[in-house]
């Protein structure tokens, strides 16, 4: 006679699930849809069964804090974010939150509600809570690092177009969320067509979560309920059954960030090109031609940075800072016109506590990114940087045409 499936007693028989027993630990993997009330009900039923001593959830510290602490965004240190070069990561996280907000408004179900129910339910019942997902920042950086130039360009454009728009979320995106993973659905069809992106967003996280669950079991868990997106269920179960390497080395490898070249070759090339071009102009045409080349470069790049900042609704002082720093940006890898302008914007228009509290709501709609002072600093950074980058190409083309 076959032993009864413990998940039946927990009310999970009609939900995607798998049970893996390994090293004296029974792992019940519950596959959920991040936009389904049925998944929330299944989590609550499993918690109420009293069977489990440990609840593991597909969350990292940052996402757990965002789900359970409504004031988490009010604790951001904006100046530290700008100085440490984390502007892009914070903006991407806010864009993902905006995408969730649109889903919640459209479907009347909070995306990730089942993860929140698992986390808060574990705490309320005095059960051990384990956050087993990889830090979303590392996932995004590994995904970005695995793409070529055009892949990165498409990814940034896709995120900007799909996550900042106010349009209704398409039906196919919702279906991906019902069957798969939130991050995968957020990237849209590009994830399915990009092996490096799929590997970082899905496959690597399957291995990561399996290693974390093995750690959780080794630390004393005997009956572990793991609440994960249904898209991870098959891969996670396979890794949990079959992986033989020690968990910690596997986690360290999956947490490693892509190595960047210590030598900023592009900046060196651009600096040599510009300085060489200016010198050639002075040698060929004297001070008149040389001075004209320098002046045109300065005017073109200053205008590009200033226009980008203006499009972001920048303060006059931040527009001035963008204009002054943009001509110098290509000559120094640590001097980014977007960072300079954003720092001045944050100083000139200091965000209030209310701006931080409204940040999640305001960034749920495109106009809110300009309305909220915190979000507008991030917009300032991106549009100033974009304006400068476009102007650098125009200024370089102008220099070549003058010298030829």
Q: What is the pLDDT of residues 279-322, one digit of tens each?
A: 887 787 778 777 888 888 889 999 999 999 999 999 999 999 99
Residue 134 shares a structural domain with residue 247: yes
Ranked by mean pLDDT, which of 64-73, 190-199, 261-270, 376-385 comes out on top? 376-385
Distance CA 290, CA 301 (A): 17
Residue 316 shares a structural domain with residue 193: no
pLDDT tens for each residue of 112-171 = 788 889 999 999 999 999 999 998 778 877 877 766 656 666 666 655 554 455 555 555
**Residue 260 within any structural domain of the chain:** no
Report how many domains make up the chain: 2
Nearest CA to 163 out of 96, 230, 236 is that of: 96
pLDDT tens for each residue of 230-259 = 878 888 999 999 999 999 999 999 998 776
**Listed residues 192, 225, 255: the one ending a domain:** 255
Q: Alpha helices, DSSP H only, in 69-148?
A: 78-83, 87-107, 113-124, 136-145
Nearest CA to 381 out of 82, 92, 161 is that of: 82
- Its pTM stands at 0.67
Q: Alpha helices, DSSP H only, in 219-264?
A: 233-242, 247-255
Torsion of CA 105, 106, 110, 111, to 10 degrees: -130
**Residue 1 within any structural domain of the chain:** no
**Residue 367 within any structural domain of the chain:** yes
- Enclosing domain of residue 270: 265-403
* H/E segment holding residue 26: strand 25-32
Higher pLDDT among residues 32 and 99, named by residue = 32
Distance CA 33, CA 284 (A): 68
Average pLDDT over residues 79-105: 65
Q: How buried is 350 (Cβ within 10 angstroms: 0-12 exposed, 13-18 middle, 19+ buried)?
A: exposed
Residue 191 shares a structural domain with residue 223: yes
């Amino acid at each position: 006679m076959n032993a009864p499936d413990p998940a039946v007693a927990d009310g999970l028989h009609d939900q995607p699930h798998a049970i893996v027993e390994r090293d004296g630990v029974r792992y019940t993997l519950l596959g959920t849809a991040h936009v389904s009330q049925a998944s929330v009900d299944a989590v609550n039923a499993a918690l109420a069964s009293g069977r489990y001593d440990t609840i593991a959830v597909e969350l990292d510290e940052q996402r757990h804090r965002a789900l359970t602490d409504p004031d988490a965004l009010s604790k951001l240190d904006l100046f530290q974010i700008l100085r440490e070069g984390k502007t892009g990561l914070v903006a991407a996280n806010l864009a993902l939150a905006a995408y969730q907000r649109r889903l919640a408004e459209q479907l009347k179900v909070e995306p990730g509600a089942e993860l929140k129910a698992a986390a808060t339910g574990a705490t309320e019942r005095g059960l051990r809570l384990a956050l087993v997902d990889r830090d979303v920042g590392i996932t995004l950086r590994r995904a970005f690092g695995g793409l070529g130039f055009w892949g990165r360009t498409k990814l940034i454009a896709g995120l900007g177009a799909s996550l900042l728009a106010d349009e209704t979320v398409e039906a196919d995106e919702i279906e991906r969320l019902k069957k798969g993973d939130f991050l995968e659905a957020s990237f849209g069809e590009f994830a399915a067509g990009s092996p490096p992106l799929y590997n970082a967003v899905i496959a690597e996280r399957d291995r990561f979560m399996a290693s974390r669950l093995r750690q959780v079991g080794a630390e004393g868990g005997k009956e572990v309920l793991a609440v994960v997106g249904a898209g991870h269920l098959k891969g996670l179960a396979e890794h949990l059954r079959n992986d033989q390497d020690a968990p910690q080395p596997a986690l360290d490898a999956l947490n490693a960030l892509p190595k960047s070249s210590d030598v900023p070759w592009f900046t060196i090339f651009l600096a040599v090109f510009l300085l060489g071009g200016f010198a050639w102009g002075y040698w060929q045409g004297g001070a008149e031609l040389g001075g004209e080349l320098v002046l045109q470069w300065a005017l073109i790049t200053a205008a590009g940075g200033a226009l980008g900042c203006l499009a972001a609704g920048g303060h006059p002082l931040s527009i001035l800072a963008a204009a002054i720093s943009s001509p110098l940006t290509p000559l120094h890898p640590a001097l980014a016109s977007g960072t300079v302008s954003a720092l001045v914007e944050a100083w000139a228009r200091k965000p209030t506590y209310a701006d931080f509290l409204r940040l999640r709501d305001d960034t749920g709609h495109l106009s809110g990114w300009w309305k909220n002072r915190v979000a507008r600093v991030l917009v300032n950074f991106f549009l100033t940087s974009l304006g400068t980058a476009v102007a650098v190409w125009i200024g370089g083309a102008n220099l070549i045409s003058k010298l030829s």
